[in-house]
Amino acid sequence: MKVLVLNSGSSSVKYQLIETSFEQIEADADRTIARGAVERIGTSSAVHTYRPEGCEKTSTVKEILEHSVAIAEIIQTLTRPGTGVIGDASEIEAVGHRVVHGGEKFTQSELCSPEVMREIEDCCELAPLHNPHNLRGIHAARQILPDVPHAAVFDTSYHQTMPPVAYLYGLPYVLYTRHAIRRYGFHGTSHRFVGWRSRKLLGRPREETRLITCHLGNGASMCAIDHGRSVDTSMGFTPLEGLLMGTRSGDLDPAVVFHVMHKEELTEYQATTMLNKHSGLFGVSGVSNDMLELEKAEAQGHERARLAIDIFCYRVRKYAGAYAAAMGGVDAIVFTGGIGENSPTVRARAMEGLEFMGVALDPARNEAAVKGREADISTTDAKVRTLVIPTNEELIIARDTLRLMKGKLQPVG
């Protein structure tokens, strides 16, 4: 069965067409047929990049003012004779949508019933920068493909298994009951996917595996997974908490915000933008938010680039230690995301000093693990395995969509 997976942002729609079935899932043989993105929606020069699997990427520029037009354009491209990958839009049997925030309501993926749509709307308050755009994408896609089921897969739902000790802040409790102020965590689909792959790779049952997954990209978060369930994660009420990120500060004494606002005479908006877009690797280094560029700058002796990478790695190490303590031990630490999958330096530096826990990296294996291949990069006798697993959130979205359609949604993991 072919599932169209859509990720709608404020001015973009990213997509993959995925072929999946229960047999293919069993054999781990479901695959992406084509992928692409429409960016700069709302302008006369929107860019549509499209790549059928095994072919060259093409990109076209044209006026696309709305998400619905973007999705119509995507379907046209997928069905275009010659370059398309399907004969007719009717071959798309379902659509899976990424939705950032599911609040406390959604503990798993759901079909988009009117009730579910209302509840996603209710979560807009928690994620004003994301959910409205996700919703707009769902509405537009349903207009264009009205006869197939649409499913919503949430970034937060995987972390709904966290216990109160992990998700509550030390704030007046009334804020939790009144405004749902608590830690939600994000990247759930990614943590869930690499957790599942890791257990397969290690050949261990879910009940006997404690994992620490590190999704390190421009946004970065870590997750403690016990019995296949998320028991803690580093992002909180918003994706701003936790690790140092490309342009986000991560953990911070909240008093700093008020102090800086006062000293620099900042508005609330400026302070928010500072924390989200001017901080992190970029803010510390003053060079870039891109790890590859930072590594180059560091090699040329750039002091603050080194400092930025050091802080980044230190925080990963600190959280790894914390999560091992939270679970009473750890069986494997897993790296994924753009940086996690491609930077041997970051992996090595982040794991430095964790030998006492049983972590030991094999330098050659670590160096060799790049470019989207799964690998065990630990020494043969390491007590704790260190893995690199390329993430695939779209695949999880496609699989959940299939399972929901056939009424066979399994518990997470």
Partner 1 sequence: MEFRKLGIVGGGTMGKSLAEKVASNGINVVLVEISPEKAEQARAELTASLDRELEKWGITASEKKVVLSRVRFVADMYADAHCRAELAGCDMVIETVQEDLEAKKKAMRRLGEVCPPDRVFITNTSILSITEIAAASGRPDRVLGMHFMRPVTRTPVVEVIRGVETSDETFETALALARALEKTPVTVFEYPGYITTRVLLPMLNEAMYVVMEGVASAKDVDLAMRLAYEFRTGPLEYADRVGLDKVMGWMEHLFRELGDIKYRPCPLLHKLVRAGHLGRKTGRGFFVYEDQQRVDAPAEEVAL
| Residue whose pair of structure tokens reads 């978060």 in the numeric block | 221
Burial of 263 (0-12, 13-18, 19+ CB in 10 A): exposed
Q: Are 384 and 198 in contact (CB under 8 A)?
A: no
| Residue 8 or 233 with smaller CB distance to partner 1 | 8
CA atoms in the 13 A half-sphere facing the CB of 67: 22
Question: In sequence order, what DSSP letters do the residues of 46-81 get, joined into one string?
Answer: EEEEEEETTS--EEEEEEE-SHHHHHHHHHHHHH-T
**Smallest gap from residue 264 Cβ to partner 1 (A):** 7
| Residue 128 or 363 with smaller CB distance to partner 1 | 128
- How many CB atoms are closer than 10 A to CB 176? 16
Is residue 264 within the footprint of partner 1 (CB under 8 A)? yes
Is residue 277 within the footprint of partner 1 (CB under 8 A)? yes
For partner 1, the binding residue among 49, 79, 107, 273 (CB under 8 A) is 273
Taking only Cα atoms into account, the Rg of the chain, rounded to an integer number of angstroms, comes to 21
For partner 1, the binding residue among 274, 320, 327, 375 (CB under 8 A) is 274
Helix, strand, or coil here: 88? coil
Is residue 269 within the footprint of partner 1 (CB under 8 A)? yes
How many chain residues touch partner 1 (CB under 8 A)? 12
List C-alpha distances in Å: 226 to 233, 358, 367: 12, 18, 29
Is 251 catalytic? The answer is no
**Smallest gap from residue 263 Cβ to partner 1 (A):** 12
Q: Map residues 6-45 to x or -, x wherever contact with partner 1 holds by CB under 8 A.
A: ------------------------------------x---
| Residue 21 or 270 with smaller CB distance to partner 1 | 270
Catalytic residue (one of 30, 88, 147, 155): 155
Taking CB under 8 A as the criterion, which residues in 60-119 touch partner 1?
65
| Residue whose pair of structure tokens reads 């700058």 in the numeric block | 297
Q: Candidates 145-153, 264-272, 334-342, 373-381 — which segment interacts with partner 1 by CB under 8 A?
A: 264-272
| Residue 107 or 270 with smaller CB distance to partner 1 | 270
Nearest to 137, CA basis, from 8, 3, 37: 8
Is residue 125 within the footprint of partner 1 (CB under 8 A)? no
Cβ partners under 8 Å of residue 174, min gap 6: none
For partner 1, the binding residue among 267, 300, 380, 410 (CB under 8 A) is 267
- Active-site annotation, residues: 155
Residues that bind partner 1 (CB under 8 A): 42, 65, 264, 266-267, 269-271, 273-274, 277-278
